[in-house]
Amino acid sequence: MKEQILAKAAEMFLTLGVKSVTMDEIAAEMGMSKKTIYTHFPTKTKLIEATALFVFDQISSGIQGIRDENKDAIEELFEIKDFACQNLKDEKSSPQYQLQKYYPKIYFSIREKQKKVLEELTRQNLRKGIDKGVYRSDLPVEFISRIYFIGILGIKDDDHFPEPEFSTNQLTEMHLEYHLRAIVTTKGLKKLETLLNKSSIK
């Protein structure tokens, strides 16, 4: 029951924003009383915190599964991008903005976890790509791993990338292409253009 509540809360929070959704609305969507939710999560803040961790763990687990498949470095990033976009349901900037504004402790705690995961993912991906000759051998790995994460945060900033001018999926795809075009070799560029063509056909 607890995981079902988290799954429904995650869906509603990502779609509507953490501030906009009430405990009554979650209970109504699940066909249960609000008291049932409170037996598992005594406050809305506790539910938001647990839901943020739930989404983070789901995404992290899925990313690790893709990494375990040991794909080509460029293909790996495309797979991860598609997985994240699918699971965040084209997340708008509003959920992140509301979390940061109204629940800053939760926001910064999750952001720190994301930072560790994404920077390590990027470091490993860069080393793999360099070893396989699809990324340049002279890349400053530590710098790129950090600037890539900062870029991920930046494209979620509604002041710079407002809806409906940019969708989350569009921004994510553009950010990934921008990142890869800066680091690929001639060999890597051929792979990148092949994957971009496939992506545009979908």
What's the pLDDT at 90?
52
Helical pair 2-16 and 44-68, crossing angle rounded to 10 deg: 90
Two structure tokens written together for 159: 């002041």
Where along the chain do its domains lie? 53-201
Mean pLDDT by runs of 10 across the 202 residues of the chain is 96 90 96 96 97 95 95 96 79 71 95 95 98 98 97 88 84 96 98 91 58
What's the pLDDT at 89?
59
User: With left for phi above 0 and alpha for psi between -120 and 50, is residue 23 left, alpha or beta?
Assistant: alpha
What's the pLDDT at 117?
95
CATH 3.40.50.12160 fits 53-201, yes or no: no
